[in-house]
Every structure is written in structure tokens, then in C-alpha cells.
Amino acid sequence: MIEKFKGLIGKAMRSVEDSISAVAVEINTFLSTWIIEHIIENDLPMKAYVEKMAEHAAGISNLCG
């Protein structure tokens, strides 16, 4: 993923004014897909643990204040 993103950045840096919009669309598609996949694959499965962690955290003092 990182290498693909670096490639897109390089492509954007080499683009001329006429083609930068196409590269921007390509980068947007890449980032949108990555974010959605990340949320579905990594964050959603943790939803089942949120309530249990909230119960556990209730007994812990606030570390920020």
C-alpha cells in the first residue's frame, strides 16, 4: 500500500497541469478504497469489544486530568 501511494505521489509530482486532475482522481480512489477497507477489516471487528472495554475502563482514573 505504501509503495503504491508513493508511486501515486511521484506520478502527481511529474504531472503537468493537463493531467493533474486525472492523478487526483486516482489518488482519491486509492485513499477512499484504503480507508473503507481499513475500517471494515480492522475497526468494525473491534466494535464487539467496545462495550466490554467501556465497563473495564470505568474503574480506571482519567489519565489526562
Domain limits, the chain: 2-57
Q: Look up residue 35 and give its three cell numbers.
A: 480507508
Predicted confidence at residue 7, as pLDDT, reads: 93
Q: How far apart are CA 16 and CA 25, in angstroms?
A: 15
Predicted confidence at residue 50, as pLDDT, reads: 82
Walk along the chain (65 residues) and give the pLDDT tens digit of each residue: 889 889 999 999 998 888 889 999 999 999 998 888 888 888 888 888 887 888 777 777 776 65
Q: How far apart are CA 50 and CA 44, in angstroms?
A: 10
